[in-house]
Amino acid sequence: MLVLYLNFIPISLFFAKLQTFFLRVYPNYGYILFVMYFLLYSSAEEGLEFPSFDGKDRVLNVNERNYKKALKKYDMMCLLYHEPLPSDKELQQQFHMREMVLELAAQVLEDKDIGFGLVDSHRDAKVAKKLGLEEEGSIYVFKDERVIEFDGELSADTLVEFLLDLLEDPVELISNPMEQRAFERMDEDIRLIGYFKGEDSEHYKAFQVTAEKFQPYVKFFATFDKGVAKQLTLKMNEIDFYEPFMDEPVTVPGKPNTEEEIVDFVNQHRRPTLRKLRAEDMFETWEDDMDGIHIVAFAEEEDPDGYEFLEILKEVARDNTKKTDLSIVWIDPDEFPLLTTYWEKTFKVDLFRPQIGVVNVTDADSVWLNMPNDEALPSAEELEDWIEDVLSGKVNTEDDDDDDDDEDNGIDDGSDEDHYGDDDD
Ligand SMILES: *[C@@H]1O[C@H](CO)[C@@H](O)[C@H](O)[C@H]1NC(C)=O
């Protein structure tokens, strides 16, 4: 439910104001809104021109008659699997806006040989079944023999970025110290790097095939350079796996590795102790909860407090990376401006300050670590204790429901917290 709701928020907030105005003026304002928006932003000088929808319909209505041909025609096919067009006017608007995201992406990527289409879950149920489309509202990308689900924010920016990533080579080569340093700085991404003899190495080929399977979510790098390999302490045919925000990589055991071994290893290690919420796979991340909850940390990296808090959080994550059930979702509010006020309302927190809390993904009920305004940030130890309490269930979203439940419950919790503070000293 929350997922669906979130899905509409960015776009609807964005257009809320314009919408009320146009509602009175134009009866069919869905398309006009989009055109207006891009016109507003395209009146600048040359060299910085946002694309405006040119009105040309590029998104195909996929059906039994045309789907095979369409899949054959393009290098990549991007399909929005959607519920039938609703009769409600507002829902129709939302539908058209999603369609327009595809139209604009199709227009921008016109010379990239990517097809775009819509599959109606009722009318085209047979096609959907044949193609293996399951989740209504999701976008599926067909590339070679693979189907890649896009489970990110449905905006033209995010979708286009995702598709462009998919067009790149699945393995990026690192061949000099400068590229190596850049690789080492990418600490937000899950990434692998292998050292191989050269392009023709069969082990490199296995690595390449594996990379395609995880593109673009897990980044694959390789080097054929002895010096780079030495710096990264890689032996011939060895593959290292880097979890986000960890200092040390883990080596995939049993080199040289087969495709299957690498796939298994990545699947086993894929859920990081600390991960950053990204627009391109935010819904997938959110769906990967820890038994119905997420530990969520809000911190703006560019804000001194936020930066500091993040450093503490990374330290805690490094110390606890062996706890396989622990996965903290870090959200930088700067990257989700359209969601910030929604989160503040839903979670009742001030996002101008760093926050960490537990969120129940069923009802978005939450509890937050108490960080009073005038006090310093928690130490790594305090944060670790709190996380322990979350994992053991001592801190949870259910006990503090003093709004809904009886007062006794709330009071009990209060004394419990005091107790826990005194206990350790
Ligand atoms: C989350 O909330 C739902 C609905 O209120 C509740 O049934 C469930 O037990 C909660 N889950 C956790 C892990 O607290």
Task: Give the chain's count of helices (H) and strands (E).
Answer: 15, 15
Q: Ligand 1 centre and the CA of 270: distance in Å?
A: 26
The Cα–Cα gap between 82 and 116 comes to 13
- pLDDT tens over the chain, length 425 residues: 334 444 444 444 444 444 444 444 444 555 555 555 555 555 557 888 888 899 999 999 999 999 999 999 999 999 999 999 889 999 999 999 999 999 999 999 999 999 999 999 999 999 999 999 999 989 999 998 899 999 999 999 999 999 999 999 999 999 999 999 999 999 999 999 999 999 999 999 999 999 999 999 999 999 999 999 999 999 999 999 999 999 899 999 999 999 999 999 999 999 999 999 999 999 999 999 998 999 999 999 999 999 999 999 999 999 999 998 899 999 999 999 999 999 999 999 999 999 999 999 999 999 999 887 656 789 999 999 999 999 998 988 887 665 544 434 333 444 344 333 333 43
Distances (CA, A) of 218 to 165, 270, 272, 281, 314: 11, 9, 12, 11, 20
Structure confidence at residue 46 (pLDDT): 83
Q: Ligand 1 centre and the CA of 159: distance in Å?
A: 33
The Cα–Cα gap between 18 and 115 comes to 31
Other residues' Cβ atoms within 10 Å of the Cβ of residue 216: 19
Cα dihedral 69, 71, 74, 77 sign: positive
Structure confidence at residue 372 (pLDDT): 73
Q: Ligand 1 centre and the CA of 293: distance in Å?
A: 8
Mean pLDDT of the chain: 86
Residue 293 CA, closest ligand 1 atom number: 13
Residue 397 CA, closest ligand 1 atom number: 14
Structure confidence at residue 41 (pLDDT): 57
Beta strands in 92-173 (DSSP E): 114-120, 139-143, 146-150, 171-173
> Which residue of 294, 358, 360 sits with most ligand 1 atoms within 8 Å of its CB, as the best mutation to test the pocket?
360
Amino acid identity at 78? C
Q: Ligand 1 centre and the CA of 416: distance in Å?
A: 21
DSSP state, residue 377 = P
Buried b (16+ CB within 10 A) or exposed e, 269-278: bebbbbbbbb
The Cα–Cα gap between 8 and 386 comes to 33
Domains detected in the chain: 60-167 (3.40.30.10), 172-270 (3.40.30.10), 275-392 (3.40.30.10)
Question: Which residues, 6 or more positions from 350, have their beta carbon under 8 angstroms from its beta carbon?
Answer: 344
> Which residue of 394, 398, 400, 404 sits with most ligand 1 atoms within 8 Å of its CB, as the best mutation to test the pocket?
398
Q: Ligand 1 centre and the CA of 362: distance in Å?
A: 6
pTM, entire model: 0.80
Structure confidence at residue 212 (pLDDT): 95
Q: Ligand 1 centre and the CA of 347: distance in Å?
A: 15
Structure confidence at residue 207 (pLDDT): 98
Q: Does residue 360 contact residue 294 with C-beta atoms inside 8 Å?
A: no
Mind giving me the DSSP string for 188-256?
TS-EEEEE-S-TT-HHHHHHHHHHHHHTTTSEEEEE--HHHHHHTTPPTT-EEEE-TT-SS-EEPSSSS
Residue 361 CA, closest ligand 1 atom number: 1
Structure tokens at 60: 């195909």
Residue nearest to atom 7 of ligand 1 (CA): 362
Report residue 312: phi and psi, to 5°.
-65, -45
Residue 360 CA, closest ligand 1 atom number: 1
Element spanning 79, H or E = strand 76-82
CB-defined site of ligand 1, < 6 Å: 291-293, 360, 362-363, 365, 396-398
The predicted-structure confidence for 104-135, as pLDDT tens digits, reads as follows: 999 999 999 999 999 999 999 999 999 999 99
Residue nearest to atom 10 of ligand 1 (CA): 360
